[in-house]
Amino acid sequence: MTSSVSSGKPGSRFLGFLRLAALIALLAGALGSVGFTLRAGHRNPSRALIGLFLVWVLSPFAALVLANLISKDWSLRTRATLYGLMLAVSLGSLAIYGAVALGPPRPKTAFVFVIVPPSSWLLMVLALSTAAFLSRRRPIPGDRG
């Protein structure tokens, strides 16, 4: 059984490129988010609190890696949505965390690092659920369902 990503079809080549770009963006997003979290929390004396923030900030990235690992049998539409989410969460997190960590000092910096991960989770659940639902109702040409 061959994957539709490697089947040689133009759409599958694009999906393969999108997957590669998404994985690279996901790695850059996770590393950048860690860096920005450490930068924003550099004055906090509690290493445990910073560690908890790091786990919290990395949780959407870990979920997307896990989703990528289990997505082999997903429809083309759902996998394309996953790869788009990987790009969006990575770039969005970097933009938001970067603006906070590198911008002028703010009184409630931690709020951004608390609210972005659950917002990312919500976006991921809604987008993937919608894509999976639509894939079951209206298959696209060349899709496995």
Half-sphere exposure of 14 (CA within 13 A, CB side): 7
Amino acid residing at 8:
G
Query: Which tokens is 129 given?
Result: 């659920």
Confidence grade of residue 2 (pLDDT, cut at 50, 70, 90): very low
- pTM attached to this predicted model: 0.84
Whether the pLDDT of residue 1 is over 50: the answer is no
Which has the higher per-residue pLDDT, 127 or 136?
127
Q: What is the mean pLDDT of the chain?
A: 89
Distances (CA, A) of 77 to 85, 88, 93: 12, 16, 24
Whether the pLDDT of residue 86 is over 90: the answer is yes
Nearest to 55 by CA among 100, 117, 102: 117
- pLDDT the model gives residue 135: 87
- pLDDT the model gives residue 140: 57
- pLDDT the model gives residue 23: 97
- pLDDT the model gives residue 12: 80
Read off the pLDDT of residues 38-70 as tens digits, 9 standing for 90 and up. 999 888 888 999 999 999 999 999 999 999 999
